[in-house]
């Protein structure tokens, strides 16, 4: 087992750290840095993205021949947690959901012509994208087999009818990846398509109000009433929509974990600074064993999450799907983010409940972590199914079993 890091990646981590510490975290203190939906203001974001591009760190997860740094999942794990010590980090580096996952899947499955049309503008940061899958009842949510949005083939085109919701970024996106039903099969009944904002035959019917801060473009409900998609914009073969989804969501779930670990570390940093200076009943808070126990518990949870995340990343690099590994990381890190934000607010007292620190922002944001990209219970089901399949071999070292 080798936990060492290459000098190249260590240097990139240091560059990310400098940008986050010197440029981004100070901006979080200024309410004028935020838009109406509690994310970074668009003009400020564009300025910062230019600075990240000048550093050569924009879209680092993309292959070198498409303008990235060719980061592998292990490299992503190292850099993404550093980025997300700031609320603004991932989007400034073009490593935020959903563009991150959409770029990854397009770079893996699209044809060269499709990459030039749909992927390259996202890599450059010229457009944003959305992944359009979840549906309101009685359509597909946790169970993609229930998807009802229907794409009907009419010669060289597909005509789409249906309804989707909770589509992150939809109001600000130009490129959309749609998962629609094209047949009755459990595993081959879905197909994936790309479509453009300006294509007629669909609308955003509402931006759904949520409890937390929002990604740019919000979480929207979409209606399709005759959207026509040329067959050349089909992604992968007819019937491979579920496969595309699995390719996308595997790494996308893990990149959530990578980012959330950075946010959890930030919570610890803020709480640690407070308890190191604040006194009560004659001593500093940090000198109380009960405070040390709370901070130690969070630190251990974060490092446990880092190990689970890194092992899953490493197993992906060995060519596995790492499905139970990703599920374990997703559950553990989502819980850790809650624990870290909650503990930090408690240790900071009334200040923790104020908007003087980003803790309350993180606390509200954290609640989605147990739902997005698979609810905790669904991931527990995945882990249990893998254990049932492999028995004791579930606990192997090395590349692992899917």
* Minimum CB distance to ligand FAD, residue 216 (Å): 12
Distance CA 332, CA 76 (A): 19
Closer to ligand FAD by Cβ: residue 27 or 96: 96
Choosing from 109, 223, 375, 382, the residue that interacts with ligand FAD (CB under 6 A) is 375
Contact call for residue 166 and ligand FAD (CB under 6 A):
yes
The three-state secondary structure class of 237 is: coil
How many residues line the site for ligand FAD (CB under 6 A)?
A: 21
Closer to ligand FAD by Cβ: residue 202 or 314: 202
Choosing from 60, 75, 90, 98, the residue that interacts with ligand FAD (CB under 6 A) is 98
**Which string of x and - marks every residue 331-370 that binds ligand FAD (by CB under 6 A)?**
-------------------------------------x--
**Which string of x and - marks every residue 190-219 that binds ligand FAD (by CB under 6 A)?**
-----------------------------x
Closer to ligand FAD by Cβ: residue 23 or 37: 37
Contact call for residue 244 and ligand FAD (CB under 6 A):
no
Distance CA 356, CA 311 (A): 36
Contact call for residue 373 and ligand FAD (CB under 6 A):
yes
The owner of tokens 């840095």 is 33
Signed CA dihedral, 265, 299, 334, 208: sign only: negative
Query: Pairing state of beta strands 175-181 and 129-132?
Result: parallel
| 157, two tokens | 């085109």
Choosing from 78, 83, 167, 251, the residue that interacts with ligand FAD (CB under 6 A) is 167
The three-state secondary structure class of 286 is: helix
Distance CA 228, CA 234 (A): 11
Q: For 336-402, give the DSSP string.
A: HHHHHHHHHHHHTTHHHHSTTSTHHHHHHHHGGGGTTTS-HHHHHHHHHHHHHHHGGGGG--TT---
* Minimum CB distance to ligand FAD, residue 367 (Å): 8
The residue ranges that bind ligand FAD (CB under 6 A) are 98, 130-134, 141-142, 166-168, 219, 368, 371-375, 377-378, 381
């Amino acid at each position: 087992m080798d936990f060492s890091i290459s000098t190249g990646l260590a240097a990139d981590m240091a560059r990310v750290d400098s940008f986050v510490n010197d440029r981004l975290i100070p901006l979080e203190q200024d309410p004028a840095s935020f838009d109406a939906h509690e994310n970074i203001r668009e003009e400020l974001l564009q300025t910062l993205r230019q600075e990240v591009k000048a550093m050569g760190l924009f879209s680092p997860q993309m292959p070198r021949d498409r303008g990235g740094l060719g980061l592998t999942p292990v490299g992503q794990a190292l850099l993404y947690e550093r980025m997300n010590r700031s609320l603004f980090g991932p989007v400034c580096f073009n490593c935020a959901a959903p563009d991150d996952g959409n770029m990854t899947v397009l770079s893996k499955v699209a044809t060269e012509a499709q990459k030039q049309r749909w992927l390259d503008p996202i890599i450059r940061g010229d457009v944003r994208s959305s992944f359009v899958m979840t549906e309101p009842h009685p359509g597909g949510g946790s169970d993609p087999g229930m998807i009802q949005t229907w794409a009907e083939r009419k010669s060289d085109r597909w005509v789409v009818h249906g309804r989707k919701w909770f589509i992150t970024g939809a109001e600000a996106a130009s490129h959309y990846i749609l998962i629609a039903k094209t047949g009755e099969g459990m595993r081959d009944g879905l197909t994936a398509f790309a479509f453009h904002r300006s294509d007629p035959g669909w609308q955003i019917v509402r931006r759904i109000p949520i409890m937390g801060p929002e990604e740019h473009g919000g979480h929207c409900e979409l209606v399709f009433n005759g959207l026509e998609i040329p067959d050349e914009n089909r992604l992968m073969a007819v019937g491979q929509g579920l496969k595309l989804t699995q390719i996308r969501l595997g790494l996308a779930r893990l990149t959530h974990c990578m980012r959330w670990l950075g946010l959890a570390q930030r919570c610890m940093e803020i709480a640690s600074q407070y308890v190191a200076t604040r006194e009560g009943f004659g001593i500093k808070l940090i000198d109380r064993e009960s405070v040390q126990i709370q901070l130690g518990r969070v630190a251990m949870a974060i490092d446990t999450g880092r190990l689970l995340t890194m092992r899953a990343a490493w197993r992906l690099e060995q060519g596995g799907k790492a499905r139970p590994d990703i599920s374990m990381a997703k559950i553990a890190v989502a819980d850790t983010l809650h624990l870290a934000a909650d503990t930090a607010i408690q240790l900071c007292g009334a200040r923790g409940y104020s908007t003087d620190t980003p803790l309350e922002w993180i606390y509200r944001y954290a609640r989605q972590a147990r739902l997005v990209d698979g609810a905790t219970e669904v991931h527990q089901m995945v882990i249990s199914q893998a254990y049932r399949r492999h028995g004791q071999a579930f606990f192997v070292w090395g590349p692992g079993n899917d």
